[in-house]
Amino acid sequence: MQLRMTNQREIILRELNTSQRHLAADELYDRVKKVMPRISLATVYRNLEILSEAGMIGKLEISGRQKRFDYDPSEHDHIYCVVCHRVDNLEMAHKGLTAEEFGAVVGYSVTGYRLEIIGVCPECQTKNENKESKK
């Protein structure tokens, strides 16, 4: 399938790439609306799904939370802050872990996997430390 690159899609991609973050559709909509005031939230959602299906961006569904869209469609893992819900790329090597090994354990035919790490981001840790020091 040949994906037609519309002006809307170009702006959505540019804003997602510029942010270098994993944005929810409504966050991206707020950014895109500044450039293209007449665009609707439904149009942003629809185009994010199309771009995701085309493999041009990644779609994250972390711990049942709101979908986020990733400027980097390559295979990689993420770390998620349980306080502010920030998502960052997790830069770590998968030493010795293969999809085939996971499948052998549970009988599935595994085609890939994602590792999701949860924790508290540096900014939330700092805020918490500042609160504790004021007590």
1-73 CATH choice from 3.40.50.2300, 1.10.10.10, 3.40.1190.20, 3.20.20.220? 1.10.10.10
Does 5 score more than 80 pLDDT?
Answer: yes
- pLDDT given for residue 27 in this prediction: 93
What span, in angstroms and rounded, lies between the C-alpha atoms of 60 and 115?
Answer: 12
Q: Which helix (H) or strand (E) holds 34?
A: helix 25-35
Domain boundaries, the chain: 1-73, 75-135
Q: Contact, 63 vs 105, CB < 8 A? A: no
Read off the pLDDT of each residue in 106-124 and give the average, rounded to a whole number. Answer: 79
- Whether the model pTM is above 0.95: no
Does 24 score more than 70 pLDDT?
Answer: yes
- pLDDT given for residue 40 in this prediction: 95
Does 105 score more than 80 pLDDT?
Answer: no
Q: Over the chain, what is the mean pLDDT?
A: 84
What span, in angstroms and rounded, lies between the C-alpha atoms of 105 and 4?
Answer: 42
Where does the pLDDT of residue 57 fall: very low under 50, low under 70, confident under 90, or very high at 90 and above?
very high
- Please, what is the end-to-end C-alpha distance for the chain in angstroms? 60
Does 19 score more than 60 pLDDT?
Answer: yes
Question: What are the tens digits of pLDDT across the range 62-101?
Answer: 766 778 898 888 878 888 888 988 888 887 765 656 666 6
Q: Which CATH architecture has domain 75-135?
A: 2-Layer Sandwich (3.30)
